[in-house]
A and B are shown apart, each in its own frame.
Chain A
Amino acid sequence: MHGLLCNRKNGVACAGVGDYRCGMRLHHRRHLVALILAFAAPALAQQPYVFETTIAGVAEPMEVGFDSQGRLLIAAGREGLIRIEPDGSRTSLAPGRVDRVTRDSTVVADRVHHHVAVQRGATQNLVTGAAWPCGRLLAPEAAAVDPSGVLWIADTGNARVIRVDQDDIRVCGERGFFPGQFVAPSGIAFDSGGPLITDRLNHRVTRLDWQGGFRDIFGFHAVRPREGEGRIHYPTSIAMESASGRIAIAEPFERRVQIFRPRGAAEPIQPAPPMPSKDGVNSHFGEDLSVGGDVVAAWEPESGCVVVWDSRNNPPAHVATFGGTGDRPGVFRQPVSVLCESDGSAVWVLDELGDRLERWELRRDPKAPVQFDSFMARLSEGIPLRVARNEAGIPEVAGCDLVQDGQRIGVAFVDGSVAWTTQSLGTFQRDARAARPRNGSDPLRAASVDAQGRLLLLWNNGIERRDSGQALFVPLTMVAVDPRGAVAAGDHFIVSDAAKDSLLRVNAQGEEMSAVVAPREQSQRFNGLEAVKDGELWLPGRLAGGGTGPIWISDYGNHRLQRFGADGAWQATFTLSKSRAKDKSPPSLAPSAEDIAREQSLRQRNRDLALEGSGSLPLLSGGQLKWTTGGAIPRGEPFAMQVTAVDAAGAPLQNVSLLVDCTMPHHGHGMNVQPVITPTSTGCWKVEPMLLHMPGRWELAFDLAWPDGRIRRSQCSLEIE
């Protein structure tokens, strides 16, 4: 119920503007009784609702609601406000862009400014959570008041729901994939038992009770794009029709709204759709990708992981995954951009919600076969994004995209400003090139650098090219409705359009030259099965490559990446597991005796290090970090560690703090304890307890944090027997 109006008529929550009503109206007693009956199913039954129908082919269902006659209302973005009539026909209620069903909501979540605005009479209060013990709100996407006056907030960036009443602030759920957990709560409605929370990145609805306790989950995760019949994919807004108890769920990713009705008390539970099995669901990818050398990188919104492919194979082979969700260095809240350095030796990650920019080295052995390697990526250093902004003198705006120009790495912000740093994360400098005066406040969508080092900034209506002189502007309004990615290719541009699922060549005048992927015919416009064919797109995102080489694209709506040749011909479709190519390269060679010997030698070195229980690591800043455990590191037994750090002159490092972590990247977990790190003197710490509970390869990481916010990591491997 993102942004729905909730007033307090008759002591209950309802929503509407004029004749429109959305959310629940419980002020008719018979409705309440009907709802109670409808939800009398056992607490953990997983089918409280039954799929009823799909409203397909809605390009941008931003928010849903019901009017007083039970008709579905859809704020359909570019298509305006739509009403779905009982016979299924559509009535346009308001032309032009409409993102909300209602306009005068008393409770509005503002994800950009990290607060919820609560209107009481003429007074507006901003709820930020700044004084809450559980920490402040982060990018909340929905808020609503329940019938008893309790405020519920989908605290999306923190992956939780907050229940606020006069006496108590209660946190419901935590980050995770399992029932009762959230990744991106995104919408709120109410049934008779409590709130219904859509979770955009868990692809389901979680039902809580009025106290915030977990009731059940509803709606199975779609395993593949274009699945229906109860599968849910990237749900956002949710609304309930009070008379019938039907709920509407908006799925912009699928360009549809699904309607579910309460399962009757006597209605048998249908066999559940199969759970995502050992193969997991198809990995999703964000709208960004990057190519450097023979490395391709993208990221997964759900897991917060960055994924790396090696393009020496065709189709490119998935060779590394790193990151994950969390708040410490090395994991992310929500990456928005990745960048491969031009020689493929490192990947940069811009984590806007986590307020962090990190550089990860890729340790690839060119002699080894192209194969998955859990240990390939190592964090080398990072910096809070706010520090980068401050150094460059850029106001507090969100990061948007990463670019590279020679040896410089740039962070492009949503207002079009760019901060440049070096590959060793030196001081950030603001890009001084003249910017084109902006009309409106639409945020930057993507950035890139062309072969001449000119900066290309993609806006909703065109491409701004900044050079040493006056900026050039290439309008795109003639060729694209919703441009998401742009790169230069010689004297023209390649532009993706998420509204038309197209990829076009555009000249400097903003005219279409030719289509790499043409828009589908209107009759096939929303045909998802057509869209999953190789060379077709669904909600295409950003681009990489261009110039005189191939074009790489994030085919966001199809959960995959694609590569097209410079001639525009499809070359490859790739994911983590189901990849195809026009000209396949032979599979990787089996490991040779030399590979096995090299691996065994490495294991022996790591084993010796664990047995010795001490080591020395170089610091990126110069100097050394030494650690010792006073003996062999045991498996499954707690131990303590002494750590000292000195500068290049051998003096103890001052004004730095230490974080220590030890993980098993190929298992996807770390220690089950969080050691206490106690400074014992300048540049010296005691770390206790450490406990490595499994045999195998562990990665021991030391993060030193400097007062300027920069973090530099030193890391070694331990083989535990």
Chain B
Amino acid sequence: MIGAPLLVAMLVACTAGEDLSPSIRARLLKLGPLPAVPQDPTNRYSDDPKAAEFGRVLFYDKRLSKNNEVSCATCHQPDRAFSDGQPLAKGIEVGTRHTPSILNAAYQRWLTWDGSADSLWSQALHPFTNPREMGLTHQELVGRVASIPELRINYEKIFGPMPQGQDDPRVMTACANLGKAIAAFERRLVTGPAPFDRWLAQLRTGNEAPTDFFNAASKRGAILFVGKADCVRCHAGPTLSDGEFHLIGVPQADGAAPTDRGRLQGIEKIRKDPFNAAGSHSDAPEGSQAKITRSTAPEGTTWGSFRTPSLRTAAASPPFMHLGQLASLEAVIDFYNTLQGATNLDHHSETVLQPLNFTAQEQADLVSFLNSLQGSLPKQSETGDPKGGAPQETSQSDKK
């Protein structure tokens, strides 16, 4: 029986006063710390150190692209929180969406903005065959790995013999193995405790006072986040994402009508993806994720919806939104504050998303809180380019 005025009244009651109310405290404590990286039953190599190290090599190898100039790390750059700082990704060509950070991606059920992948390993294969990214076919990818001795040797140590030629039916299995190796590496891309996590640890002891690493502004922002702003409605749990898809109407930079079908396209793609969790290359085709993938269905709100991003790396990976159209956290908060330009082609004037109408101080507090979510980056020695980032030589066969 709740209506908007009643909800606001309840939340205002929660945020009044200096001490945290029990409900605010309970909501905050659900936001951290990050638990251990969840198991991935669809990938039997997910925790294999050799596979992870091989995946790391693959991740940085530009020879696995059509023009020998693009690797996974071209867009997922370690010094940019494994994003690229650009509005739109650029591989062989400029892409159609922003590069999301893949830090903490191992916690996500759905990968990519539209959830067109349901595991780390199946996602890892998408860029290889995207003409705008790396531009190969599955056969070409396996062929290139087979033609590079160091890669071939490493592959066969882990997965057994490589397919013999592009017509070998094991090519797709080899492809899946390459994805699984990269996924094993990407499971290392996890952030360490953030200032907010440290403050939560303190809060669990009963001390809710701000600290030098989590100041009063951050605390006020945190209270707004789970209270009046109700950001936690979608940015829930330790990843600060519900992992699902929402249509928030953020306008395109050019103000034109949106054309990206988002999750609707993602569902179509994942149903056809031979590497999905329910497919023959999955190591758990009857597992939990497989059931979800099979049952995923579009509904009226699916068009143009995109996956809720985790906020744990937001401070280090601007710009924001699926087109990178908002340059800063301030711009993001400003959008939610006014919903200026938000596109609504529907015929309902009521919506969950209402302008926050916050003061400048409140907006600054929210930004301060978001900055406090940035945890330490993974060790360069375990996640950086194994060749030290030096330009990679192109094989003669590739030059041809």
Interface residues, chain A, with chain B CB atoms under 8 Å away: 44, 46, 174-181, 202, 217, 221, 272, 275-281, 283-284, 300, 302-303, 305, 318, 321, 324-326, 363, 365, 368-369, 371-376, 576-577, 588, 590-591, 595-596, 598-600, 602-603, 635-636, 638, 666-670, 672-676, 688-689, 691, 693-697, 721
* Contacting residues, chain B, for A374 (C-beta < 8 A): 2
Q: Is A599 a contact partner of B1 (Cβ separation < 8 A)?
A: yes
Task: List 15 extra interface pairs beyond A46-B257, A277-B344, A669-B301, CB under 8 A.
Answer: A178-B261, A178-B303, A178-B304, A275-B345, A276-B345, A278-B340, A278-B353, A326-B299, A576-B350, A596-B9, A603-B2, A638-B291, A668-B300, A675-B295, A721-B30
* Contacting residues, chain B, for A276 (C-beta < 8 A): 343-345
- Our pick among B242, B255, B297 for the contact of A636 (Cβ within 8 Å) is B242
Interface check B311, CB cutoff 8 A = no
What are 13 A-B pairs at a CB distance below 8 A? A177-B347, A275-B251, A278-B340, A305-B348, A577-B349, A596-B10, A598-B1, A599-B2, A635-B242, A667-B352, A672-B297, A676-B295, A694-B236
* Contacting residues, chain B, for A177 (C-beta < 8 A): 303, 345-347
| Closest-CB distance, B287 to chain A (whole angstroms) | 10
CB-CB nearest in chain B for A175: B300
CB-CB nearest in chain B for A371: B3
| Closest-CB distance, A594 to chain B (whole angstroms) | 11
Q: Is B1 a contact partner of A669 (Cβ separation < 8 A)?
A: no
A635 to B237, CA, bound (A): 9
| Closest-CB distance, A687 to chain B (whole angstroms) | 11
Q: Which 6 A-B pairs have the closest CB atoms?
A: A371-B3, A674-B297, A673-B295, A177-B345, A693-B244, A278-B339
- Our pick among B30, B257, B353 for the contact of A275 (Cβ within 8 Å) is B257
Q: A326-B300, A673-B292 are in contact. Are A599 and B350 (CB under 8 A)?
A: no
* Contacting residues, chain B, for A674 (C-beta < 8 A): 295-297
* Contacting residues, chain B, for A688 (C-beta < 8 A): 291
Interface check B169, CB cutoff 8 A = no
| Closest-CB distance, A25 to chain B (whole angstroms) | 31
Q: Is A369 a contact partner of B5 (Cβ separation < 8 A)?
A: yes
- Our pick among B30, B234, B342, B351 for the contact of A668 (Cβ within 8 Å) is B351
Interface residues, chain B, with chain A CB atoms under 8 Å away: 1-6, 9-10, 13, 30, 232-234, 236-237, 242-245, 249, 251, 255-259, 261, 288, 291-292, 295-304, 339-353, 355
CB-CB nearest in chain B for A376: B1
A284 to B352, CA, bound (A): 20
CB-CB nearest in chain B for A696: B233
Q: Is B6 a contact partner of A283 (Cβ separation < 8 A)?
A: no
Q: Is A180 a contact partner of B261 (Cβ separation < 8 A)?
A: yes
A672 to B255, CA, bound (A): 29
Residue pairs across A and B with CB atoms within 8 Å: the count is 178
* Contacting residues, chain A, for B297 (C-beta < 8 A): 672-674
* Contacting residues, chain A, for B288 (C-beta < 8 A): 638, 689
Q: Is A666 a contact partner of B352 (Cβ separation < 8 A)?
A: yes
Q: Is B346 a contact partner of A596 (Cβ separation < 8 A)?
A: no
* Contacting residues, chain A, for B1 (C-beta < 8 A): 363, 365, 368, 373, 375-376, 598-599, 602
| Closest-CB distance, A675 to chain B (whole angstroms) | 6
| Closest-CB distance, A434 to chain B (whole angstroms) | 43
Q: A179-B259, A283-B348, A669-B301 are in contact. Are A371 and B5 (CB under 8 A)?
A: yes
A666 to B346, CA, bound (A): 15
A600 to B14, CA, bound (A): 12
* Contacting residues, chain A, for B257 (C-beta < 8 A): 46, 179, 217, 275
- Our pick among B13, B304, B350 for the contact of A372 (Cβ within 8 Å) is B350
- Residue among B259, B342, B347, B352 facing the most chain A CB atoms (10 A cut-off): B347
A672 to B262, CA, bound (A): 14
Q: Is A670 a contact partner of B299 (Cβ separation < 8 A)?
A: yes
* Contacting residues, chain B, for A202 (C-beta < 8 A): 345
Q: Is B347 a contact partner of A176 (Cβ separation < 8 A)?
A: no
A603 to B78, CA, bound (A): 45
| Closest-CB distance, A276 to chain B (whole angstroms) | 6
CB-CB nearest in chain B for A589: B5
| Closest-CB distance, B49 to chain A (whole angstroms) | 28
Q: Is A278 a contact partner of B344 (Cβ separation < 8 A)?
A: yes
A596 to B249, CA, bound (A): 32
A292 to B346, CA, bound (A): 28
- Our pick among A181, A217, A369, A693 for the contact of B242 (Cβ within 8 Å) is A693
Q: A277-B341, A595-B6, A694-B233 are in contact. Are A284 and B296 (CB under 8 A)?
A: no
* Contacting residues, chain B, for A280 (C-beta < 8 A): 344, 346-349, 351
* Contacting residues, chain A, for B256 (C-beta < 8 A): 44, 46, 272
Q: Is B300 a contact partner of A324 (Cβ separation < 8 A)?
A: yes
Q: Is A321 a contact partner of B350 (Cβ separation < 8 A)?
A: yes
Q: Is B6 a contact partner of A669 (Cβ separation < 8 A)?
A: no
- Our pick among A363, A373, A668 for the contact of B2 (Cβ within 8 Å) is A373
| Closest-CB distance, A160 to chain B (whole angstroms) | 14
| Closest-CB distance, B362 to chain A (whole angstroms) | 19
CB-CB nearest in chain B for A668: B301
Q: A272-B256, A672-B296, A673-B295 are in contact. Are A694 and B345 (CB under 8 A)?
A: no
| Closest-CB distance, B239 to chain A (whole angstroms) | 9
A302 to B344, CA, bound (A): 13
| Closest-CB distance, A473 to chain B (whole angstroms) | 39
